[in-house]
């Protein structure tokens, strides 16, 4: 990570620098609203996986950490030069114990964006920051409360959801879970589904780096039928939250519902692990993924992503539903699977 010049708010004695230490981990673990992506290790993981430069801003008062804002510099000829908090995560933005710390972190982030010549500064918040920024609200996360006894969660599920889980169980799906030893199988299945959707797949090393950086917190779940993997889920935990960030089911098995037995098995596991919330991950409002997550009775978390741009100009977003991208999506679906597995990891690091 690079170091940046300090910013001092004299009247409040807030100093901002880019020198994270072990005390930042303690601050992130103790502060409400902080997620795994706010930990210094996440920024280091992204640097290792993709080579994107991390700038981890720390606000201190009297030498003690009172706020953090992890940033990653993502450069791409196709998608522009951006500063993001945090990439490859649904969440980000400043976490601060006091408003003046948040203000100092935000001001320094804008300075860094200017210094780097970025086209935008993207803050992946859940609560809108009090600044005149562009806002994107078309994405949502869905979170299900967990209980120590999985049966308490089971009783709260909708009747149709329970029936779909039973149907998948009756079809003979077997769910297993583990770590790196299951990654090849997960990645093979996941890249097939990404190709079907017309979406460039992330390189395998992203998942490898997450598993190696957070081995005790990360788990892969696979649903198999007659020895063939039909669906998979990649999840990690932090502060009582389960983050289900990547998952997929293959189309030939859709009518059997492997995603239902897969997610239910994961929910049972994390209930027994003492987790409090199961985050189904980000989806577009009104999409099929959103509807699937609603069927579990999950609570919505509105994602409020905010953007600073030089001169306040409108930021550009790469949206598959946008007519200018729709043709590219259809072309991607028609290319051979092996080509998508080669090209996807080249393009996708710029799509965090």
Residue 37 lies in a domain: yes
For residues 69 and 104, the answer to whether their CB atoms sit within 8 Å is no
Are both 158 and 265 inside the same structural domain? yes
Q: What percent of the chain has pLDDT over 90?
A: 85
Are both 111 and 188 inside the same structural domain? no
**Does the pLDDT of residue 348 top 50, yes or no?**
yes
**Domain final residue, candidates 302, 330, 346:** 302
Q: Which segment, 56-60, 80-84, 196-200, is predicted with the most confidence on average?
A: 56-60
What are the b/e assignments for 81-102, b being 16+ CB within 10 Å?
ebbbbbbbbbbbbbbbbeebbb
Backbone conformation region of residue 239, classed left if phi is above 0, alpha if psi is from -120 to 50, else beta: left
How much is the pLDDT for 13? 85
- CA distances to 12, 70, 169, 310 from 174, rounded to whole Å, are 58, 39, 8, 52
**What's the total number of domains in the chain?**
2
The mean pLDDT of 289-316, rounded to a whole number, is: 92
Are both 247 and 125 inside the same structural domain? no
How much is the pLDDT for 315? 84
Are both 264 and 181 inside the same structural domain? yes
Distance CA 332, CA 8 (A): 49
pLDDT band for position 11 (50/70/90)?
very low
pLDDT band for position 320 (50/70/90)?
low
Are both 248 and 205 inside the same structural domain? yes
Residue 310 lies in a domain: no
How much is the pLDDT for 321? 61
Residue 320 lies in a domain: no
How much is the pLDDT for 12? 58
The mean pLDDT of 208-216, rounded to a whole number, is: 98
Residue, of 312 and 337, whose pLDDT is higher: 337
Residue, of 83 and 318, whose pLDDT is higher: 83
Query: Each residue of 223-280: pLDDT tens digit?
Result: 999 999 999 999 999 999 999 989 999 999 999 999 999 999 999 999 999 999 999 9
Distance CA 91, CA 68 (A): 14
Kindly report the number of other CB atoms within 10 A of residue 18's CB atom.
Answer: 19
> What burial class does residue 185 get, using C-beta atoms within 10 Å of its C-beta: 0-12 exposed, 13-18 middle, 19+ buried?
middle
How much is the pLDDT for 327? 83
**Domain final residue, candidates 110, 131, 152:** 131
Are both 186 and 62 inside the same structural domain? no
- Give the H/E segment covering residue 113: helix 99-116
Lowest mean pLDDT among 100-109, 229-238, 246-255, 281-290: 281-290
Are both 297 and 168 inside the same structural domain? yes
**Does the pLDDT of residue 324 top 80, yes or no?**
no
Lowest mean pLDDT among 91-100, 271-280, 286-295: 286-295
291 token code pair: 């509807």
How much is the pLDDT for 334? 93
What are the b/e assignments for 147-172, b being 16+ CB within 10 Å?
eeebeebbeebeeebeebbeebbeee
**CATH number of the domain that 216 lies in?**
3.40.630.30
**Does the pLDDT of residue 10 top 80, yes or no?**
no
How much is the pLDDT for 78? 79
Are both 293 and 223 inside the same structural domain? yes
**Domain final residue, candidates 99, 131, 163:** 131
Are both 167 and 197 inside the same structural domain? yes
Are both 248 and 155 inside the same structural domain? yes
pLDDT band for position 3 (50/70/90)?
very low
Residue 58 lies in a domain: yes
Q: What is the pTM of this model?
A: 0.92
Give the structural domain span for 19. 7-131
**Does the pLDDT of residue 9 top 90, yes or no?**
no
Distance CA 114, CA 122 (A): 13
Q: What percent of the chain has pLDDT over 70?
A: 95
Q: DSSP character for 255? A: G
**Does the pLDDT of residue 314 top 70, yes or no?**
yes
How much is the pLDDT for 4? 45
Are both 90 and 170 inside the same structural domain? no
Lowest mean pLDDT among 191-200, 238-247, 308-317: 308-317
Mean pLDDT over each residue of the chain, to the nearest integer:
93
């Amino acid at each position: 990570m690079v170091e940046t010049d300090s910013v001092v708010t004299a009247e409040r004695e807030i100093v901002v620098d880019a020198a994270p230490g072990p005390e930042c981990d303690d601050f992130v673990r103790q502060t409400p609203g902080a997620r795994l992506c706010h930990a210094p290790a996440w920024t280091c993981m992204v640097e290792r996986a993709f080579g994107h430069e991390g700038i981890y801003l720390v606000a201190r008062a009297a030498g003690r950490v009172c706020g953090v804002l992890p940033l990653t510099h993502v450069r791409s000829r196709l998608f522009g030069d951006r500063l993001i908090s945090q990439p490859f995560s649904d969440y980000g933005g400043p976490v601060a114990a006091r408003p003046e710390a948040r203000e100092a972190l935000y001001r320094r982030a804008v300075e860094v964006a200017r210094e780097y010549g970025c086209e935008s500064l993207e803050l992946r918040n859940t609560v809108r920051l009090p600044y005149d920024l562009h806002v994107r609200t078309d994405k949502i996360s869905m979170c299900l409360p967990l209980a120590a006894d999985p049966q308490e969660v089971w009783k709260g599920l909708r009747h149709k959801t329970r029936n779909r889980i039973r149907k998948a169980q009756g079809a003979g799906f077997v769910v297993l879970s583990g770590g790196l030893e299951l990654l090849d199988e997960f990645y093979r299945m996941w890249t097939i589904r990404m190709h079907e959707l017309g979406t460039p797949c992330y390189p395998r090393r992203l998942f490898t780096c997450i598993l190696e950086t957070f081995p005790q917190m990360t788990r892969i779940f696979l649903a198999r039928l007659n020895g063939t993997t039909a669906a998979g889920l990649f999840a990690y935990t932090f502060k009582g939250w389960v983050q289900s960030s990547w998952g997929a089911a293959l189309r030939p098995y859709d009518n059997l519902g492997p995603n239902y037995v897969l997610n239910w098995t994961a929910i049972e596991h994390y209930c027994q692990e003492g987790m409090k919330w199961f985050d189904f991950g980000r989806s577009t409002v009104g999409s099929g993924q959103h509807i699937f997550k609603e069927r579990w009775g999950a609570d919505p978390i509105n994602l409020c992503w905010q953007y600073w741009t030089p001169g306040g100009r409108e930021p550009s977003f790469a949206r598959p539903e946008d007519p200018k991208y729709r043709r590219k999506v259809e072309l991607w679906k028609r290319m051979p699977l092996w080509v998508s597995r080669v090209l996807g990891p080249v393009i996708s690091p710029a799509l965090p």
